[in-house]
A and B are shown apart, each in its own frame.
Chain A
């Protein structure tokens, strides 16, 4: 079974709010000092799903794609260390600050270029923009079905059987291959790469493709060609209205808090 996993490198969502800064003029997040970017937290679950499906099928190849800057190579390396076979980095200044429509089309072009592919797996959303729309866009561009927010995936005679997480429950669906499935945190813990695997991953191939390699013309890329311009990005001013509960001792503060909560009918 040949599977493609799309991963993304993002600013660490565990960054303390105090260290989160935005360059409002450039409409970009300023990387927090000393806090390295990480793999989008849903993506290792997509990689885990790919590795389990490949094992269950008794063979095949797992290829990891990431669209991003040079540092996004680390997100690919993480998936390779988990056990994926090959990596492709989509890297071009023309990809800087593109929107979800452009990203979906670039990923779709890369998937077509890789060719043989039974299944594409992605995290349910990226934790930076938190939209979860790119997988649907890739599905549209490739003309294949998309099953979103999976907690379990199983290969069947007809394709894949997927257990989806809904707002108020679960749904089991079956889709023919090729298909795109997005994986949610409910899938379970991904494996953690061991040192030996990390060293082996260093030897695995990561190809680098530019927009031209994907056959994408200048009108398909570039922030200036966004179909959805980003007009503003800023840190919202939080009016802090906190009432600090006073008291001569921790115990007295606790008693005062309980009474305040009761007075406000919160308990």
Chain B
């Protein structure tokens, strides 16, 4: 009997939201004929029961350390015991390593950061973004095992139902790592981290000169919860610090509001901000990619728009 194994994760004692989203994805696939849903967690029996409450039919626990090479044999054992032919893993720091390791250990490949999953003729089909969001790719597998990592917020987490029950099995297998962890620290920063800002105001090469970032900073200051970002082109020109670069080789942000000023929207930049909930463009080119993906856009010279925008926002208070 085929089935689905969800590799859940816990952070600071709590099952991660992404894990519940994976259960949501697994239930959808189960509904399309992929078989029952088992969950694996390197965590407690109570956490396993939480996973069952949101939709897993059974669960496996392990006390192995959450390091990909140590967890791999435990996950392999859960795959074998559950009979799963589909494994869903979150696109997390752990998943980025565990997904490929599990796939390659089973002589197959993995589709990373998948956004859509469906069952066709009993087999998985995964859709993912490629070329910085410019393209979509759809993959299938010839191997018995089909492994994917899933992009956060691609699926809804089901409501918990405390009346659901299922078997919880402890798994003893664990691997040995050649890698020694010397220390882990949380990211800290002064001011608003661009990754955490509710609003990001970003500028690109189209600003024309470095001094324009002063106006962007003033706009961000007016909005209070905003951070200032820049495209790679603007950073390469030395107009703004590389630490504030948004894009493929910079920061990935997903603010509630992203204000793109004089940014055309090459994939290098889109890759870092496509997850923004609402995009606003100020651009001279109505046909630019950034304007097309925006909710609101002003097609005009930002130099004339920005001072009036800052003034009006101050007036609105």
Spell out A's residues near B (CB within 8 Å): 11, 13-18, 20, 22, 29, 41-42, 99-101, 104, 127-133, 136-137, 139-141, 145-149, 161, 166-176, 179, 185, 189, 226-236, 238, 240-245, 249-255, 257-262, 264, 266-267
Contact = CB atoms under 8 A, between A and B. Distances in A.
Contacts of A137: 100, 104
Given A16-B266, A41-B249, A245 B187 contact: no
A130 B271 contact: yes
A13 B180 CA distance: 36
A41 B308 CA distance: 38
11 contacts: A13-B132, A13-B268, A14-B266, A20-B135, A42-B249, A170-B187, A185-B249, A233-B136, A240-B292, A242-B281, A264-B278
Contact of A175 (B108, B179, B184, B296): B179
Contacts of B296: 242-243, 245, 257, 260-261
A263 to B, nearest CB: 10
Given A15-B266, A226-B142, 7 more contacts: A14-B232, A132-B112, A174-B182, A236-B136, A251-B304, A255-B308, A261-B313
A161 B69 CA distance: 18
A254 B308 contact: yes
A166 B95 CA distance: 11
Contacts of A240: 292-293
B101 A243 contact: no
B178 A29 contact: no
A167 B151 CA distance: 13
Interface string B72-109: 00000000000000000000110011011101110111
B56 interface: no
Contacts, number: 261
Given A229-B139, A231-B125, A267 B99 contact: no
Contact of B130 (A130, A173, A253): A130
Nearest to A103: B109
Main SS of chain B's interface residues? mixed
Interface residues of B, number: 87
B268 A147 contact: no
A184 to B, nearest CB: 9
B223 interface: yes
B271 A266 contact: no
B299 A244 contact: yes
Contacts of A226: 109, 142
Contacts of A254: 298, 304-309, 312
A16 B256 contact: no
For the complex of A and B, list the 10 residue pairs with the smallest distance between their C-beta atoms, beginning with the closest. Answer: A250-B304, A254-B308, A136-B100, A17-B289, A258-B312, A133-B100, A251-B308, A254-B309, A140-B104, A101-B109
B184 A231 contact: no
Contacts of B287: 18
Contact of B96 (A17, A132, A264, A267): A132
Contacts of A130: 112-113, 129-132, 248, 271
Interface string B290-317: 0111111111110011111100110010
Contact of B312 (A22, A172, A259): A259
